[in-house]
């Protein structure tokens, strides 16, 4: 049912095209998504969105779509064998890293444009100029580990190397928050494009940005951004706000609730 | 039907949540234990963040201990004076435990410490229980075996601040139950358990309490220790998910009824033997995960 509605939306967008092309000057790209206000309610279990739009294309043109989520603080850890067991020996704290980053394209990014063009257009994890702070010292740096000030040894922020971004990206992909799909965008009649975005069940709430970039012969022709929000709604929002804004009251409530529930259970199943 | 757990920030099938509660509830009814040592690892296994699993399980144990202690109170099997001293120690210990938990979490070592605590304490308790139940089974086949003394006097009984515990028929130093309470409190806060599996043997073998009052008294003090953990975790880390706790509880209440009925057909030492095997199985599983090389040497955690 949603699909049908989306198809009609695409057709509507396509009908709008001539007028856009005629009046919008360089803005020859229009994009939208099936739902720009995603609600995390009590029954939320991941959701699928359709990203679609129209552009003035030719054969062999490419479209790249990037959905990036709220800047997030991440802890990236490396484990190693210490005394026979696997222990986290190194922690890097990444600031302002997208907590969600899905990139869709018509072909692998490397075939679409040169690294320099991609970097300038800020496409792909490697182009994000991410930074990290080394938190815990490496086990073999001589300082040992488990020291009481291990958490406090923050150094200056350093630029992440491609290898590090690769390691982080693999972990983020495993939990569904990052994704790179080189066949994720389909183009029809050189005017319509579409991609299916899957928001996983652990999607971080916040402001999202959806960016569409149109490539021809390895160069950016035009691009457009649109916003999307992911927010808790209803009961789950209420509980979350209660727990975070009135945390002491929430704790008292949780205890009273448990005592009452325990008493109720004892009364209900009392042996005669 | 899936339910989005507002604090854990993941969705789980409601059948899995209630089924987990029911399954662990059945075993806890069968063996007369709280079941935290099974539930917390299972929640982590099902993708609940460890911090949320530990704090939420504390919240659930408040409820299961309340319903458990009421039956023991009716039979007069709670030593309130001893319970109060253990509780005082437990509240101090669990408060320290919550602080320690936050610190370990901040340096990224909480998972390791949770796992190591499980391996060490479940390993020790499981092995001791298994040996004890096997001995009882052997002894019951040899009639005329002599039972040992109820408890022996040692240096622990020479400590100051002696108090009389009428219900337990003891005259011992208050320092001992206070220390035991504190130690178990720290573990309860870190492991997401009530601590009954350590408290009960400690009461019997270290304090020399009569077995009739240990379970009731242990449950009584667990209520306060886990309530303290729930409150402190709510304030400090906002990791108590009462929606998850409520659903687990719902399943556990029903499961425990069936479990306690099933338990009535087995003998005490057989039950203890089975419990010992289950405790050891959890210990081995967690221990194995520590030694085996992880699939990916890197891991990521979203911080708040």
Complex ipTM: 0.89
Chain B neighbours among A 101-140 (CB < 8 Å)?
135-136
Query: Considering the entire predicted model, what is its pTM?
Result: 0.83
Q: Are the Cβ atoms of A76 and B257 closer than 8 angstroms?
A: no
B146 interface with A at CB cutoff 8 Å: no
pLDDT score at A9: 55
**Structure letter (DSSP) for residue A10:** H
∠ CA(B56), CA(B57), CA(B63), 5° rounding? Answer: 100
Pair B82, B178: CB distance under 8 Å? no
pLDDT of residue B60: 94
Q: Which of B67, B226, B260 to mutate to test the interface with A (most CBs of A within 10 A)?
A: B67
% pLDDT > 70, chain A: 82
* Interface list for B 64-83 with A (CB within 8 A): 64-68, 70-71
Residue B153: which pLDDT band, with cuts at 50, 70 and 90?
Answer: low
- What is the model's pLDDT at position B261? 83
Contact: A259, B4; criterion CB under 8 Å: no
Measuring CA to CA, how many Å separate B163 from each of B82, B94, B150? 9, 24, 19
pLDDT at B100: 95
* DSSP per residue, chain B: -EEEETTTTEEEEHHHHHHHHHHHHHHHHHHT---HHHHHHHHHHTT--HHHHHHHHHHHHHHHHHHHHHHHHHTT---HHHHHHHHHHHHHHHHHHHHHHHHHHHTT-HHHHHHHHHHHHHHHHHHHHHHHHHHHHHHHHSTTPPP--S----GGGG-SSEEEETTTTEEEETHHHHHHHHHHHHHHHHHTS--HHHHHHIIIIII---HHHHHHHHHHHHHHHHHHHHHHHHHHT----HHHHHHHHHHHHHHHHHHHHHHTTS-HHHHHHHHHHHHHHHHHHHHHHHHSPPS-SEEEEEE-
CB contact under 8 A, A170 and B296: yes
pLDDT digits (tens, 9 = 90+) for A117-148: 998 888 988 788 888 888 754 433 333 333 33
What pLDDT score does B156 carry?
A: 67
pLDDT tens per residue across span B82-92: 999 999 999 99
- pLDDT of B152 reads 58
Secondary element (H or E) of residue A13: helix A2-23
DSSP β-ladder status, A192-199 and A206-216: unpaired
Residues B11, A46: C-beta atoms closer than 8 Å: yes
Q: How far is B70 from chain A (nearest CA, A)?
A: 7
State what percent of residues in chain B have pLDDT above 70: 94
Residue of B nearest to A93 (CA): B303
Predicted local confidence at residue B186, as pLDDT: 95
A77 shares contact with chain B (CB less than 8 Å) = yes
- Candidates A254, A257, A264, partner chain B, best to mutate (most B CBs within 10 A): A254
* DSSP reduced 3-state for A139: helix
Give the pLDDT confidence score for residue A7 in this predicted structure: 57
Q: How far apart are CA A269 and CA A257, in angstroms?
A: 18
Mean pLDDT computed over B181-199: 92
Tell me how far apart the 2 most distant CA atoms of chain A are, in Å. Answer: 84
Interval B115-142 mean pLDDT: 86
pLDDT score recorded for residue B213: 87
Given a cut of 50, the residues of chain A with pLDDT beneath it are 1, 16-25, 137-153, 272
**Tokens 């779509």, residue?**
A65
Alpha carbons B117 and A146: distance in angstroms, whole number: 16
Percent of chain B at pLDDT above 90? Answer: 47
Token duo for residue B218: 């242990």
Give B246-300 pLDDT, tens digit per residue. 999 999 988 988 888 888 887 877 888 888 898 899 999 999 999 999 888 999 9
pLDDT value of position A21? 42
Q: Where are the alpha helices (DSSP H) in A155-194?
A: 162-174
pLDDT in tens, B45-101: 898 988 899 999 999 999 999 988 888 888 888 999 999 999 999 999 999 999 999
Bridge partners (DSSP) listed for residue A192: A54, A188
**CA–CA separation, A62 vs A125, rounded Å?**
19
Lowest-confidence pick of A72-81, A228-237, B23-32, B141-150: B141-150
Q: Provide the shortest C-alpha distance from residue B87 to chain A (in Å).
A: 16
């Amino acid at each position: 049912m949603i699909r049908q509605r989306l198809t009609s939306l695409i057709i509507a967008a396509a009908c709008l095209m001539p007028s856009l092309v005629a009046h919008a000057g360089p803005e020859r790209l229009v994009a939208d998504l099936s739902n720009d206000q995603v609600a995390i309610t009590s029954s939320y279990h991941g959701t699928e969105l359709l990203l679609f739009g129209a552009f003035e294309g030719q054969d062999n043109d490419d479209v790249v779509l990037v959905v990036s989520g709220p800047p997030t603080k991440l802890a990236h850890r490396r484990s190693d064998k210490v005394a026979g067991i696997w222990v986290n020996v190194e922690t890097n704290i990444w600031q302002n890293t997208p907590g969600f980053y899905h990139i869709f394209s018509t072909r692998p990014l490397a075939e679409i444009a040169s690294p320099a063009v991609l970097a300038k257009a800020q496409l792909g994890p490697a182009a994000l100029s991410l930074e990290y702070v080394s938190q815990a010292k490496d086990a073999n740096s001589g300082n040992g580990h488990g020291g009481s000030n291990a958490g406090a040894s923050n150094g200056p922020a350093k630029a992440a190397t491609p290898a590090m971004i690769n390691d982080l990206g693999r972990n983020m992909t495993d939990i569904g928050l990052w994704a790179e799909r080189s066949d994720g965008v389909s183009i029809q009649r050189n005017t319509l494009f579409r991609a299916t975005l899957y928001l996983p069940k652990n999607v971080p709430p916040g402001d999202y940005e959806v960016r569409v970039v149109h490539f021809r012969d390895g160069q950016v022709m035009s691009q457009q951004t649109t916003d999307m929000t992911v927010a808790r709604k209803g009961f789950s929002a209420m509980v979350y706000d209660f727990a975070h804004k009135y945390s002491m009251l929430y704790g008292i409530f949780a205890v009273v609730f448990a005592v009452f529930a325990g008493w109720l259970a004892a009364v209900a199943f009392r042996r005669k | 039907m899936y339910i989005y757990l507002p604090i854990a920030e993941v969705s789980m099938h409601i059948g899995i949540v209630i089924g987990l509660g029911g399954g662990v509830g059945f075993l806890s009814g069968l063996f007369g234990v709280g079941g935290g040592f099974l539930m917390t690892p299972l929640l982590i296994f099902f993708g609940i963040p460890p911090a949320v699993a530990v704090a939420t399980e504390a919240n659930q144990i408040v409820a299961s201990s309340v319903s458990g202690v009421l039956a023991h109170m009716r039979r007069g099997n709670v030593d309130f004076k001893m319970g109060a001293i253990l509780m005082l120690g437990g509240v101090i210990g669990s408060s320290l435990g919550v602080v320690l938990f936050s610190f370990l979490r901040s340096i990224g070592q909480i998972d390791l410490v949770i796992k190591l605590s499980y391996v060490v304490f479940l390993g020790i308790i499981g092995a001791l229980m298994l040996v004890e139940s096997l001995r009882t089974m052997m002894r019951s086949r040899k009639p005329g075996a002599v039972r040992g003394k109820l408890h022996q006097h040692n240096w622990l009984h020479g400590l100051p601040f002696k108090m009389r515990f009428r219900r337990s028929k003891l005259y011992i130093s208050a320092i001992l139950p206070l220390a035991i309470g504190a130690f178990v409190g720290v573990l309860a806060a870190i492991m997401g358990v009530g601590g009954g599996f350590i408290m009960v043997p400690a009461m019997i073998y270290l304090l020399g309490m009569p077995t009739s009052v240990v379970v009731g008294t242990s449950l009584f003090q667990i209520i306060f220790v886990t309530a303290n953990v729930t409150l402190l975790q709510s304030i400090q880390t906002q990791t108590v998910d009462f929606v998850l706790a409520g659903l687990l509880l719902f399943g556990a209440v029903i499961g425990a009824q069936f479990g306690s009925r099933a338990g009535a057909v087995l003998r005490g030492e057989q039950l203890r033997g089975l419990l010992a095997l289950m405790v050891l199985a959890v210990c081995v599983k967690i221990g194995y995960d520590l030694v085996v090389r992880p699939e990916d040497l890197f891991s990521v955690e979203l911080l708040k």
